[in-house]
Amino acid sequence: MWPYYVGQACGQTLLKRAFQKQDKVQKYNDILAYCGYSRASVWVFFLPLVTENGRLVRKGTRQALIDQAEYTLIGLARETHDDFWNVAHRRGMDALEVEGLVNSVTRVSKAAKLLSAVFERG
C-alpha cells in the first residue's frame, strides 16, 4: 500500500470529502491506471481534527493547524516513493534542501551524516 495523494476537506459530508468534485474520481482512476492495476481498491483515510472533548473542530477554526498537518503528511508521503501525485506545496518542498535530510542528492559532510542519523535516515 502506497500513498499517492494527500488532501484536506473541511465542512463537508463524508461522501463529499472523498469525492467532492469529479476531478477527485478522475484522479483516483488515473493513479490506478498509471500503476497498471486493472483491479484494485482505493483506500481513503480520514483524519479528523477534534477538540480535547472529542468533538469535531468547526469549519474555519484552526485552519493553520490543518494546513500544517496536510503539509506534513504530503512531505511524509513524498518520501515513500517517486510517484506521489500531489501538486499542492510541491514547488516549496522541491525547493527546500537540507543536506543529508531533505532533497539531498549526496551526503558530503560529517555534519550532514550526523543530522541524518539523528532522524534515523542514514
**Per-residue pLDDT at 83 exceeds 70:** yes
Cβ atoms of 61 and 49 within 8 Å: the answer is no
Query: What average pLDDT score do residues 19-47 get?
Result: 77
Each residue's pLDDT tens digit, 43-67: 878 788 888 888 888 777 788 888 8
Signed CA dihedral, 118, 76, 91, 66: sign only: negative
Residue with cell 488515473: 30
Each residue's pLDDT tens digit, 1-24: 778 888 777 666 666 666 666 677
pLDDT of residue 119: 76
* Rounded Cα gap, residues 120 and 122, in angstroms: 6
pLDDT of residue 47: 82
Cβ atoms of 16 and 97 within 8 Å: the answer is no
